Amino acid sequence: MHDTSELYREILAGEHWTETRLAIGESGRLIDRFGSAITFGGTAISVGSSGADSGFGENVLISIETSNRMFSEESITVGSCVSGEIDVEIIKPAGEIVRMARLVPYVRITNGSRHSEWIQKGVYFIDTREENSDDSGIVILKLHGYDAMLKAEADYPESALAWPAADIEVVREIAAFMGVTVDPRTAAAMTRAYPVQYPAEYSCREVLGYIAAMYGGCFVMSDLGELRLITLGGMPAETRYLIASSGSAITFGGDRILV
């Protein structure tokens, strides 16, 4: 969940729609691997600290879809590390987008006259790309990417901890190895300080799964790209509704069923 502004809530209460933007690359001007600026229509694309204000907008962005299932299977499981994915179709800009470039989507709501703040919806890294031309000859770039959870597939790194180590310290060491930070809500949920033995010949992902299972939850990457533990008991109330396999709400007499 995000802390939203009063303006956001006011717009949400009335008729509104969603706008989407996509930032590609690190902060600063978007450049290719040769150091040249990537342009669209002759204009250099600058990705600022907020990302969204200067990223690619809906005039260039054809479609964007993210998949961030809280749990990895159709049935509820614990002890998993769930990777998020993104699919993007965009009119190809001039220049080459670097390998493994960051993809950061943002959304906001608007009623046409007022706009809410931009809300970040994940941090992903390009895995595959494909180019196709439409009937008019415009080149469409298709990008598919994953979040940083895949970096946990590596063997547990050389450690500076004293073993056995407290669970949260192990999580922090893994996060540092992955190049990410730990979501503050993770530390707040991990209050039992379970001792963890040195994980020789185990991957970071296996260790995270073991720790998640002890807390009855799963690890995911948050919307800000931070490592987050979500437990069954810690899910917000609005996520505890019964839904069908299609994702639609199951209702009784028109009311949603809370479990």
Summarize pLDDT for 182-237 with one digit per residue, the tens.
999 999 999 999 999 999 999 999 999 999 999 999 999 999 999 999 998 765 55
Domain with CATH 3.55.50 in the chain: 153-234
According to the model, what pLDDT value does residue 256 have?
59
According to the model, what pLDDT value does residue 40 have?
52
According to the model, what pLDDT value does residue 28 have?
43
Cα 25 to Cα 154: distance, rounded to the nearest angstrom:
24
According to the model, what pLDDT value does residue 118 have?
86
According to the model, what pLDDT value does residue 137 have?
80
pLDDT band for 3, please (50, 70, 90 cuts).
confident
pTM of the model: 0.79
Identify which of 119, 122, 81, 116 has the alpha carbon closest to the alpha carbon of residue 218. 81
pLDDT band for 20, please (50, 70, 90 cuts).
confident
Task: Spell out the CATH class of 6-146.
Answer: mainly beta
According to the model, what pLDDT value does residue 4 have?
82
Alpha helices in 131-195 (DSSP H): 167-178, 184-189
Long-range contact list for 115-120, CB < 8 A, 24+ apart?
115/11, 115/19, 116/4, 116/5, 116/7, 116/8, 116/11, 116/12, 117/4, 117/5, 117/7, 117/8, 118/21, 118/50, 118/51, 118/52, 118/53, 119/2, 119/4, 119/223, 120/51, 120/52, 120/223, 120/224
- Using alpha carbons only, give the angle 170, 175, 177 rounded to the nearest 5 degrees: 95
Cα 259 to Cα 257: distance, rounded to the nearest angstrom:
6
Q: Exposure pattern of 79-117 as b/e (b: 16+ CB <10 Å)?
A: bbbbbbbbebebbbbebebbeebbbbbbebbeeeeeebe
Q: How far is CA 224 from the centre of its chain?
A: 7
Residue of 138 and 250 predicted with greater confidence:
138
pLDDT band for 29, please (50, 70, 90 cuts).
very low
Summarize pLDDT for 91-135 with one digit per residue, the tens.
887 777 778 888 888 888 999 999 998 888 999 999 999 998 877
According to the model, what pLDDT value does residue 22 have?
84
Average pLDDT of the chain, as a whole number: 81
Q: What is the fold of 153-234? A: Phage tail protein beta-alpha-beta fold (3.55.50)
Summarize pLDDT for 40-59 with one digit per residue, the tens.
555 545 443 345 555 555 66
Tokens for 208? 């995270």
Q: Are 86 and 103 a contacting pair, CB within 8 Å?
A: yes
